[in-house]
Amino acid sequence: MIRLGKAAAGASALWLALQGPALAQAFSLPPTPEAPGRAPSEPRYLGGMWDSERFFFQIENPPLSPDAKAKVDGYRAAMKSGKILSTAWTSCRPGAVSAMVMAMNSIMVLQSPKEITLLFEEPRLVRHIRIGGTHPRRLAPSYLGDSIGHWEGDTLVVDTIGYNGDFELDAFALPTSRKLHTIERLTKSADGKRVDVQVTIIDPEHYSRPFTASRGWKVSGQRHQLEYDCMENPREEEFSKAYFIKDRYRPTCMRYEGEGTAMSRIVCRKPE
């Protein structure tokens, strides 16, 4: 530790006092710049930081097929018995539709003439939407699928196919399949402070007809997104009561925290 004499300390304090405004100005963050030629109220410009207007964890009254309803009823019964429902969402797996339907915290939108990129804060997820063009004839199934966007008036319409079906739509484990097809419609308000989001879900394997979930984004006051870390290995009791709706959601290795002075340990199993 370096100790300053009284005279040196006084001089340092005086220097800091005199330099305070200059230092504050030097280290203050500049205002967020506007994109060239883009006004916040421009209807076809969605770029910037948005917050989910409200966190939804459930889609109300989906038109489930009999088989899908039996699955969901089984999940609800497990929860009522004290089990913790472990889905793709809680197992740190991404899902484009679940992120749109259950967005938490902020959404950063980066926009160029040929592509729109959505960066979700929680869950940490990056989606790329190509403007114009068509879907490839052959698509490798994925969590995010393949997204093509076009403008209908001032509404961005996003058509997505190629999902892998390894995620659910909401916190109550509404299922998806590889037949899933989504159509999203994003419309900015006239004052530029809100985006209306409508997600139409088409999955004939689990639902008797298409249905739509309506959501909203509002202008965010924050400049940067916060870090989000999804842990796959929480405490032992969370696994002892976990109800894994798919075996692939069960971690191969789990860390158990030691009790008292006992050491923590990691237990692994062979994938089935």
3-state secondary structure the chain: CCCCCHHHHHHHHHHHHHHHHHHHHHHCCCCCCCCCCCCCCCCCCCCEEEEECCCCCCCCCCCECHHHHHHHHHHHHHHHCCCEEECCCCCCCCCHHHHHHCCEEEEEEEECCCEEEEEEEECCEEEEEEECCCCCCCCCCECCCEEEEEEECCEEEEEEECECCCCCCCCCCCCCCCCCEEEEEEEECCCCCEEEEEEEEECCCCECCCEEEEEEEEECCCCCCCCCCCCCCCCHHHHHCEEECCHHHCCCEEEECCCCCCCCEEEECCCC
Least confident interval from 7-11, 114-118, 154-158, 190-194: 7-11
Least confident interval from 7-21, 46-60, 175-189: 7-21
Q: How confident is the model at residue 29 (pLDDT cuts 50, 70, 90)?
A: very low
**For the chain, which domains are there?**
48-219 (2.40.128.20)
Res 32: pLDDT: 42
Task: Examine the pLDDT at 238 and tell me if it is beyond 60.
Answer: no
Q: How confident is the model at residue 272 (pLDDT cuts 50, 70, 90)?
A: low
Condensed to tens digits (0 to 9), the pLDDT of residues 41-95 reads 799 999 999 999 888 888 989 999 999 999 999 998 988 888 878 888 777 777 7
Res 271: pLDDT: 61
Instruction: Record the pTM.
Output: 0.76
Res 195: pLDDT: 96
Task: Examine the pLDDT at 268 and tell me if it is beyond 80.
Answer: no
Q: What average pLDDT does this structure show over 111-137?
A: 92
